[in-house]
């Protein structure tokens, strides 16, 4: 039984959404769905005849509003999953997943990995050899660490945990701003410009600290909306 894995893209915030499913049982999960793309996502779920079990957020996003609540209205049996440290959004989550929490879809298991640092509650999720890294690890880069409880030293340690996975593990990031779609742990250990394996923690902290980034345009709308799983956008 193979795993269906559909990377989907939202251009304004350069966000990847992932629809994953067991090809036999059709049980499915969606990771980091975006409000303005809900019609596309529902059409694909319907077209593939999937049974949506989990609506997963890797973290409380600052750059877009999630479609978690509107999706749950459409698929009431699906469970909204957030990382255990996201206490500000606890009221709208069905599952607060900690390290090692397993979400089954058919014969496949989605395993939660706590990877704080970009924000305090950031999670990554591993399914077979596929790693969904949210904003913890990007292709050749990482998430920023300057708001929502972010910490560069914490992110450094989280990424070391991901780097302990086999080199062949496929990395699916939460965003890409340079046209890339997929990488591997082995590639990122060698070529990541901020956190490759021969950079120590101090080097990483310096590099992340010198990123010259403006605040996300939607931060004042997106963070409160996402703390209610996107309820206000439905
Ligand atoms: Fe983020």
Q: Which domain holds residue 21?
A: 3-212
Is 113 domain-assigned?
Answer: yes
Q: What is the CATH number of the domain that holds 188?
A: 3.60.15.10
Is 228 domain-assigned?
Answer: no
pTM, 2 dp: 0.97
CA of 152 to the centre of ligand 1 (A): 14
Is 111 domain-assigned?
Answer: yes
Q: Are 34 and 14 in contact (CB under 8 A)?
A: no
- Closest by CA to 175, choosing from 6, 3, 18, is 18
CA of 175 to the centre of ligand 1 (A): 9
CA of 164 to the centre of ligand 1 (A): 23
Domain count, the chain: 1
**Tokens linked to 64:** 């877009």
Is 230 domain-assigned?
Answer: no
Q: Cα angle vertex 102, ends 101, 106, to 5°?
A: 165
Give per-residue pLDDT as tens, 141-186: 999 999 999 999 999 999 999 999 999 999 999 999 999 999 999 9
Is 224 domain-assigned?
Answer: no
Give per-residue pLDDT as tens, 126-141: 999 999 999 999 999 9
- Closest by CA to 40, choosing from 30, 53, 26, is 30
CA of 49 to the centre of ligand 1 (A): 30
What does each C-alpha distance from 101 to 104, 114, 156, 218 come to in angstroms? 10, 10, 22, 31
Q: Are 131 and 171 in contact (CB under 8 A)?
A: yes
Is 197 domain-assigned?
Answer: yes
Question: Residue 72 pLDDT more than 50?
Answer: yes
CA of 153 to the centre of ligand 1 (A): 17
């Amino acid at each position: 039984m193979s795993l269906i894995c559909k990377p989907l893209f939202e251009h304004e915030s350069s966000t990847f959404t992932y629809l994953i499913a067991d090809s036999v049982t059709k049980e499915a999960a969606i990771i980091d769905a975006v409000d303005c793309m809900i019609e596309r996502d529902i059409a694909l779920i319907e077209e593939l005849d999937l049974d949506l079990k989990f609506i997963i957020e890797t973290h409380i996003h600052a750059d877009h509003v999630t479609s978690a609540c509107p999706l749950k209205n459409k698929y009431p049996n699906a469970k909204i999953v957030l990382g255990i440290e996201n206490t500000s959004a606890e009221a709208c989550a069905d599952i607060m997943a900690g390290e090692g929490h397993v979400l089954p879809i058919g014969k496949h298991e989605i395993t939660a990995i706590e990877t704080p640092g970009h924000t305090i509650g950031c999670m990554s999720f591993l399914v077979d050899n596929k790693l969904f890294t949210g904003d913890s690890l990007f292709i050749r880069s990482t998430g920023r660490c300057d708001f929502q409880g972010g910490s560069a030293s914490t992110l450094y340690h989280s990424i070391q945990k991901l780097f302990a996975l086999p080199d062949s593990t496929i990395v699916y990031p939460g965003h890409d701003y340079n046209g890339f779609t997929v990488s591997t742990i082995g590639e990122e250990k060698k070529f990541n410009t901020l956190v490759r394996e021969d950079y120590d923690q101090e080097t990483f902290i310096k590099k992340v600290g010198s990123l010259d980034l403006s605040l996300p345009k939607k931060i004042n709308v997106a963070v409160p909306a996402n703390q209610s799983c996107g309820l206000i956008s439905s």
